[in-house]
Amino acid sequence: MANKQALREFQSRLAERLQSARTSGVAASWLAVEAGNSRLLFPLSHAGEIFSWTDVQRVPYVQPWFMGVANLRGGLFAVVDLASFVQDAAAKPRSENDLAQCRLVALNPVLEANCALLVDRLLGLRTTDAFTSSVPPDASAPAYFGHAYTDLEGRRWQELNLQILSQHQAFLGVGV
């Protein structure tokens, strides 16, 4: 029970910081998440509301990374397993307990895509001060990949442009 309360408090603080960052425009640049074994950065202007895991209605004849649709605050959202999509791999099987620890990050409504991305963990907000170096994406990288950053501990972070992702042909092609 204490873990649930601590998680709720963390989510509440994170939501407050996200709102503060959006209104002040200077505090943070990215929402940091973990999806599979990847550390990813979402520009704050592209990220929307964060939801706890909820039941997802499965859909037949779709790509393995397309989990289905979910009702999030009365809206119908497509749910994408981000790790599976980005790593171009089969979705890893998750137990209900594992899914309960995951979060759904909705795309910002200005992107006009009712989509939520399944991430394994929220890692907070990051500014450019958190990183020691950056490199532009490889020529062979997907169009939605932004710069790759290295943090103070030497870990690699990949920026994802969610606006480009939401319009990318592979992302839109959920049918098999």
Please spell the DSSP secondary structure of the chain, one letter per residue: -HHHHHHHHHHHHHHHHHHHHHHHSSS-SEEEEEETTEEEEEETTTEEEEEE----B--SSB-TTEEEEEEETTEEEEEEEHHHHHTTSPPPP--HHHHHH-EEEEEPGGG---EEEEESEEEEEE-GGGEEEEEPPPTTS-TTEEEEEEETTS-EEEEE-HHHHHH-HHHH--B-
Domain that holds residue 155: 2-172
Give pLDDT tens digits for 22-78: 555 555 699 999 999 999 999 999 999 999 999 999 999 999 999 999 999 999 999
Average pLDDT over residues 164-169: 96
pLDDT of residue 3: 65
Give me the chain's average pLDDT, please: 89
Give me the CATH number covering residue 168.
Answer: 2.40.50.180
Confidence tier at 13 by pLDDT (50, 70, 90): low
Q: Whole-prediction pTM value? A: 0.82
In the chain, the number of structural domains is 1
For residue 17 the two structure tokens come to: 């910081």
pLDDT of residue 47: 96
Integer Cα distance of 53 and 27 in angstroms: 28
Please list the residues that pair with 116 across neighbouring strands. 79, 106
Give pLDDT tens digits for 92-101: 788 889 999 9
Please list the residues that pair with 164 across neighbouring strands. none
